[in-house]
Structure 1
Amino acid sequence: MKIAIIGTGNVGGSLATKWANAGHKIVLGVRDINNFKGQELLKNPNTEAMSVPEAAKASEVILIATPAPMAIEVAKSLGDTAGKIIVDTMNVVMGRGPEGFANTSDAILACTNTKDVVKSFNTTGFNNIENTIYGDQRIDMFICGDSSNGKRVVVELAKDAGVQECYDIGGNDKFQLKEQFAWFWINLAMKNKNRDFAFKILKR
């Protein structure tokens, strides 16, 4: 699968590495292909860099992992996204997000021409994406969005990133809930001054 990564910081960089190592073709969408954060990602033979619109055009899946206030600007910069799946990893934190929107996924839907927007990889720290293993278990991940095809693809990509299970919590109406769940993880990490924990669903 060809995946565009927009935002090559901690989360985007970690997923780019995991997916490239799993055999996917990664296109980093950057403003300046000669100078950007995460240039070391190009050492992987399955990874290349292009401008943001070129990366989006060349890919089947677009992952956005930029700061939440940039959601509108980034979404508008993608160009024609018809038929493409957009994965939103962003969160509005302490009121800092896209102007006029309560969450980043709604902003993406309003500023692109795809309906296949899935929110995922936003409820844990990048350290847990880099290393999904705790003892003899691996972390769980969560998805939401109206796109059944988008969610099917994201579940596969979550497994390729080393996640144990990826649970579907609902449609677009759960975007806000998912960001609140992310804030729960962030709050615990800040309160305990420790990022080395993750959420796991236990079943009887």
Structure 2
Amino acid sequence: MKIAIIGAGNVGGALARNWAAAGHEVYLGVKNPADNKEWSGIANLTVCSVKAAADEAAVLLVALPVPALVPVAQELGNMENKIVIDATNAVFAKPAPYETGYHVFKALTGADVIKSFNTTGFENMANPVYHGKGIDMFMAAGSQKAKEVVRLLASDAGFEACYDFGGEDKVLLIEQFAMAWINLAILQKEGRDIAFKVLRR
């Protein structure tokens, strides 16, 4: 699968490495490709401009700071035939006039947008295995096609399962769920090496 990752920070970088290692063609979209030499030599990974990455791929993962969401969505324009995975969290600031990154890309690009890869820290994106078992990922969207893609990509990144929170009306809930991890790991000082997993009796 051809995947564009918009943003080469901690989350985007961790997923880029995992998906490239799984055999996907990954295009890392950054502001200044020439300044990102640390990515050279990684198989299946190409560093390029944000627009070039988006043009190459059918699936985009957005891992940007909240203030960059609206300008980048405006730059990318119409993406009606693409899937956009919103991995951002607008828990401390909103991408005004929109509530979340999901709503930004839905309104400004017309893509199939899904909220996922936002509910845990980048350390767990890089290595989601605890005691020999993958932790869980979560998603919310109105698009079943996008959910099928995210479920596959979660597995390829090392997560054991990707649970469906529901439709577009659950996007804000999944951001609040992300805040639960942030609260425990950072604000309550439990540390970033904690994760969520659904268990059944």
Q: Is the Cα–Cα contact under 8 Å of residues 13 and 41 in structure 1 kept in the other structure?
A: no
Structure 2 residue identity aligned to 1:29:
G
Matched, 1:82 2:80: yes
Equivalent-residue separation in structure 1 for 2:38 and 2:34 (angstroms) = 12
Say yes or no: does 1:183 pair with 2:179.
Answer: yes
Is the 1:57–1:81 Cα contact (8 Å) retained in structure 2?
A: no
Deviations 1:72-108 (A, max 9, x none): 11111223312100000000132x1201122221111
Q: How does 1:76-115 map to 2 (within 5 A)?
A: 76-94=74-92, 96-114=93-111
1:138 paired to 2:134: yes
Name stretches of at least 5 consecutive residues in structure 1 with no aligned partner: none
Deviations 1:40-75 (A, max 9, x none): 223212111222111111101011000122211111
Residue aligning to 1:66 = 64
Name the counterpart of 1:15.
15
- Please, what TM-score do these two structures have when normalized by structure 1? 0.94
Report SS of the residue matched to 1:26: strand
* Inter-partner Cα distance in structure 2 for 1:154 and 1:140: 12
Aligned to 2:146: 150
The equivalent of 2:55 in structure 1 is 57
Aligned length: 200
Q: Tell me by how many angstroms 1:30 deviates.
A: 1.5
Quote the residue 2:192 is aligned against.
195
Equivalent positions of 1:38-49 (< 5 A) are 39-49=37-47
Gaps of 5+ in 2: none
SS at 1:63 equivalent? strand
Contact 1:87 1:119 in 2 (8 A): yes
CA distance in 1, matches of 2:200, 2:99: 33
Distance 2:170 2:114 in 1: 11
